Chain A
Amino acid sequence: MALDTAPKGWRSVARYSMLTIVALFILFPVYTTVIAALKPGNRVLDNPLLPNAFTLDVLKDAWTQGRLGRYLMNTTVVALIITSVQLVTSIASAYAFSFLKFPLKRLVFGIFLSTMLVPLEVTLVINRRTIDSLGWLNSFQGLTVPFVATAFGTFLLRQVFMQIPPDLREAAQMDGLGHWGFMKEVAIPLVRPTLGALGLFSFLSSWNQYLWPSLITTEDDMNTVQTGLRHLASSDLDKPNLIMAGTIIAAVPILIVLVVFQKQLVRGLTAGAVKG
């Protein structure tokens, strides 16, 4: 029907004006950040709303002297390790819950599910002690190992695996296809879209972690982007342009990831939100 085609005249003018005003409000903090990052230090505070000076030196300084390059590398390593290992452990455990027969299956599944009720903030007091006693403060092990398994991922993939009819597994078995073959030929291709969403979700949440790295990192060499920004903000508060440049450098990689993986993002976010 013609109801949802573009409304004519003043209605769409009104809507466009509203959209523009709202968009400007949302972008305002981004605008002031970009402007500051592109100004030399002595010009930052005169007329903070106008781009009345331009330099790329501050971005360079943030990268080298502000050590954003180092922080980005650390974060990339951490996020990639967590994401890839999480995908493997989630596939493995979801497969076991869906296609293997073993005693106490319900109990073990219950244990997995129960961990989803426990918020991160509750466990970190003890995890910091555990990591300390393992000698993993200021290390990649400390930043990654506590997060390499996830009940959420297991649960999400199991939902998809359960859609495979048991007959199919039996038929495959009769054709001599073992678990490994079945997983490679049938199960994994089926969950590929879900894996994309899950992978993006793991990557973003490990990239954005703030509290945990700030609890177990004391050496600047091991700072992630997030704790690195914190370090930058506390040591260079008199150089707002340097901090803003660091902020931009920290935000750009995620912006690129999100633009590339738009589809997976919406899919992942709405996994729990919309029926069906």
Chain B
Amino acid sequence: MAIKTSRLRDIPLAFAMLGPSLLVLLTFVLYPLGKAVWLGQQTCDVQGKNCKSVGWGQYTTVIKSDQFQHALWVTVKFALITVPIGLALGVGLAVLADKQLRGMRFFRTIFSSTIATSVAVASLMWLFLLQPSIGVLANLGWLHDIFPVIKEPGLLKDSGTALWSVGISSIWANLGFTFILVTAGLQSVPKEMHESAYVDGAGGWMRFTNVTLPLISPTLLFTTVVLTSRAFQAYGEMDLLTNGGPIPQDSTTTVTYLIYGSSSIIKNNDGLQAAVAVLLFVILLALSALQFRGFGKRVHYGS
């Protein structure tokens, strides 16, 4: 009985403390999710008004469409470019800087520095490097003599190089983040582990693969998951560097760009945008479940 009254006594306070958060989360996270699922089977006019149901088959139509499948494939390629290279570079940098040497703080600051760039800042820096008329690379005579694609049509405008170029800009922008995470992981590896392996006669590479890598595997898993979801949600890079192009191949139209891009084929169709957004949600959920299950088994969390 005493428990019961105290349970009730806290209610007004709990309501006051949780109410604002709950209101915001329901209005701007859960409601839009539910509403997007519903809108995904509707079709609206160009202003996004007067929506009418056209049936759940709209989802199947989207899944089967060339545009969606193409965007999904571009997204997967983008993730396959940015995640492994970004992770490998981050680990390489962190290992290189993981020594108590004079001046190391200086190098660490430089390696972390790209974390200070927003997607717009990083993309514009790379736009200035890669753009075929005003770009730095295109104005270095000797360089575009060797690689004519830099000038004609330009790395961002050639369907073979566009996605790679955007990917490199994105890898660069994420490098500081990856470096900081992996460095923190390395610092949590107990020194004695290295010393005993050293005493056992293990060389540098063996110590790295047999001691260091397993011990930082939780960090690597976390970083991989974050980088993958960033790759799947990347938008600003495409918006600023390529506009999803070059057309007609749409070489950099990812799923997120397909939903929101200003030159996307469905930009005036709220129903289709919602349907693709819901599919993106399903893909991201499946992906993180997969990563935690597949990779998770091999992760060493210590005892």
Contact = CB atoms under 8 A, between A and B. Distances in A.
B83 interface: no
B120 A108 contact: no
Contacts of B99: 4, 6-7, 15
Contacts of B65: none
Given A119-B281, A210-B235, A233 B127 contact: yes
B29 A115 contact: yes
A207 interface: yes
A112 interface: yes
A251 interface: yes
B139 interface: yes
Contact of B280 (A115, A122, A247, A272): A122
Interface in B233-256: 233, 235-236, 239-240, 256
Interface string B105-117: 0010011011111
22 contacts: A4-B100, A6-B99, A6-B101, A7-B99, A19-B96, A89-B21, A90-B21, A92-B17, A95-B17, A115-B25, A118-B33, A122-B277, A122-B278, A126-B32, A126-B274, A129-B48, A208-B119, A238-B134, A243-B124, A251-B117, A266-B184, A275-B302
Interface of B: 3, 6-7, 10-11, 13-18, 20-33, 35-36, 39, 48, 93, 96-97, 99-103, 107, 110-111, 113-122, 124-129, 131, 134, 136, 139-140, 172, 175, 177, 180-181, 184-185, 188, 191, 194-195, 198, 218-219, 222-223, 229, 233, 235-236, 239-240, 256, 259-260, 270, 273-274, 277-278, 280-281, 284-285, 301-302
Interface of A: 1, 3-7, 12, 15-16, 18-19, 22-23, 26-27, 29-30, 32-33, 36, 44-46, 48-49, 89-90, 92-93, 95-97, 100-103, 108, 111-112, 114-115, 117-127, 129-130, 145-151, 154, 179, 207-208, 210-211, 214-215, 225-227, 229-230, 233, 237-238, 240, 243-244, 246-247, 250-251, 254-255, 258, 265-266, 269-270, 272-276
